[in-house]
Amino acid sequence: MIRALIFDFDGLIFDSETPDFISWQETYAAHGVELSREVWNAHIGAITFNPYLHLEELLGRPIDRDAVWAKRKARDNELIAAQTIMPGVEAYLAEAQALGLKIAIASSSDHNWVDTHLQRLGLFDQFEHIFCNDDVGGVGKPDPAVYRAAVSALNIAPHEGLALEDSPNGVTAAKGAGLWCTAVPNGMTRDLNFDHADYRLTALTDMPLAQLITEVTNGTN
């Protein structure tokens, strides 16, 4: 029986991934080099990629990281300000509440980032628990630590939780914690490999949550 729904944040609730990639891609281009989608996509949902170091490796020289950060961050903020809640999120939150499910977030980002945007979007109070990388010693996905923390706080068995993820790294983390996991790729991740997910949607608007739970668990819920 599914008793809890656990959301990823970046790329699932709120598309920060596209602005992040665009702002870095423009930064690389301004330095005369290219940030490929292949390099970027390999690290989506994780915290292992250092774009400053990668840029320096491509250039073969150090950069003024403070100056690059300031300019890139200003552009990122401009793009992010235009982003709203991803389609279907609010409907899933409402249905989860109606079904009596516990609701949480498990994110590779830190609380300052996640909490600030949840408050801006009016979603902060919708979640019983919000777990971020700074709750688990800075460890990000694909390590399952943040999901294990959520499972413990929700007081459920792993097989009683369904995770929603937009990245292969996120799916790996959820499955590593023993959860059911549905992949919901976004524009940045839709071409990646999600074979290890239990189910895949093109968007949360594809089907109601109750139907998804039945499909994912093959009726065992």
Catalytically active residues are: 8, 10
| HSE, side-chain direction, 13 A CA sphere, residue 191 | 7
| End-to-end Cα separation, the chain, in angstroms | 4
Burial call 199-213: b when 16+ CB within 10 Å, e when fewer = bebeebeeeebeebb
DSSP per position, 54-73: HHHHHHTS---HHHHHHHHH
> Which tokens is 146 given?
């943040």
Count of CB atoms situated within 10 Å of the CB of 180: 24
In angstroms, rounded to a whole number, what is the distance separating the alpha carbons of residues 62 and 64? Answer: 7
**CA 78 → CA 16, 82, 117, 118, 169, distances in Å?**
11, 7, 14, 18, 27
Collapsing DSSP to helix, strand or coil, 164 comes out as strand
